[in-house]
Amino acid sequence: MRWQRRGPSEDLEDRRAEGGRRRIPLPLGRGGLGVGGTVALIAVMWLLGIDPTVLLRGDPGSMVNVDTGPSAPFESSPEEDDLVQFVSFVLDDLQTTWPQVLPGYRNARLVLFRGATHSACGTGQSEMGPFYCPADEKVYVDLSFYGELRSRFGAPGDFAQAYVLAHEIGHHVQALTGVERRVRAEQRELGSANELSVRMELQADCFAGVWGHHAARRNVLEPGDVEEGLRAAGAIGDDRIQEMSGRGVHPESFTHGSSEQRMTWLRRGLESGNPEVCDTFATKGG
């Protein structure tokens, strides 16, 4: 990819220095703890290293930072600094493109973290991989995932990395257009619906391709970049991940789609540049 170092994006929130710190709610206010419960909570707070006076000055629903484990001093390698610059460029390029394609688009924010962090959707952990939270309109990424994408999944390359972020911004597009809300409502009605989850993930792949199409027209992409992205999409298909785990392939348990499906929908977006071709819900058979 042809990209430029422009400094951190205005939509970037860097929490890498937080280490293992998390935020927990305190049960304060009317209907809260009794005397015995308060004494027990104060004892626990002392053990966790939290100032118990927060109980006296806190509001109902207060949150406090808690150290959930030892954290080393924050250090960022030159390679990681370059990666921060890269994801900042991709984020800004994505959010320059989407308003031209989707009137009314508003920017998401990107949170970089290490290990674990809080989100409006619950605690995010590195093991979950990159994810989007519609409740706060933020994408969460532990940069170590990109090393895993390269070494574990065999999908190196800068466009492979960009595809991952573009996919998560695709989920933001779904939240803005009401797709995410409709799918979650239908899933609650059905109890569980893996097929709906797969279709939503494949649409996010297609949306990632839509951005890639416009990036290519601006000469941001170089020869071989599209192949990198398709290779990454195939590398993280449900069937490939299940094969790697040694559990066998079980299509009924897919949540993101097979390698072939993910490559197909990413390619569809790349070739058209039109989000209207990304209606995975109207397409029979995925």
Which residues are CB-contacts of 114 (< 8 A; sequence separation ≥ 6)?
15, 16, 18, 19, 126, 142, 143, 144
Q: Which two tokens stand for residue 86?
A: 């890269």
The predicted pLDDT at position 6 comes to: 85
User: Which mean pLDDT values do the consecutive 10-residue runs of the chain (286 residues) have?
Assistant: 90 87 44 46 45 45 44 74 95 97 96 95 92 97 92 90 97 97 89 85 98 96 93 93 88 92 97 96 70
Rounded distance, CA 262 to CA 233, Å?
Answer: 6
The predicted pLDDT at position 283 comes to: 67
CA distance between the termini of the chain = 30
Rounded distance, CA 149 to CA 36, Å?
Answer: 50
The predicted pLDDT at position 189 comes to: 83
Query: How many CB atoms are closer than 10 A to CB 201?
Result: 23
| Residue 102 Cα distances to 99, 107, 134, 208, 271, angstroms | 5, 12, 18, 14, 18
| Residue 278 Cα distances to 21, 104, 212, 262, 270, angstroms | 39, 19, 14, 12, 11
pLDDT tens by residue, 143-188: 999 999 999 898 888 999 999 999 999 999 999 999 999 999 998 8
Q: Residue 140, SS3?
A: strand
The predicted pLDDT at position 73 comes to: 58
Pairing state of beta strands 63-67 and 21-25?
Answer: antiparallel
Q: What is the DSSP code (8-state) at residue 61?
A: T
Q: Taking the mean position of all CA atoms in its chain, how far away is CA 179?
A: 17
The predicted pLDDT at position 26 comes to: 46
Which residues are CB-contacts of 79 (< 8 A; sequence separation ≥ 6)?
none
Residue 110: left (phi > 0), alpha (psi -120 to 50), or beta?
beta
The predicted pLDDT at position 21 comes to: 47
pLDDT tens by residue, 8-23: 899 999 999 986 544 4
Q: What is the pTM of this model?
A: 0.80
Which residue, 222, 216, 194, is CA-closest to 266? 216
Rounded distance, CA 195 to CA 199, Å?
Answer: 6
Q: Which two tokens stand for residue 283?
A: 């397409």
Domain coordinates in residue numbering, the chain: 22-67, 78-278
- Is residue 210 within 8 Å of 269, Cβ to Cβ? yes
Rounded distance, CA 53 to CA 74, Å?
Answer: 29
Rounded distance, CA 35 to CA 33, Å?
Answer: 7
| Residue 276 Cα distances to 97, 203, 240, 282, angstroms | 15, 10, 28, 11
Q: Which two tokens stand for residue 182?
A: 């409709």
Quick one: 79 exposed, middle or buried, by C-beta within 10 A (0-12, 13-18, 19+)? exposed
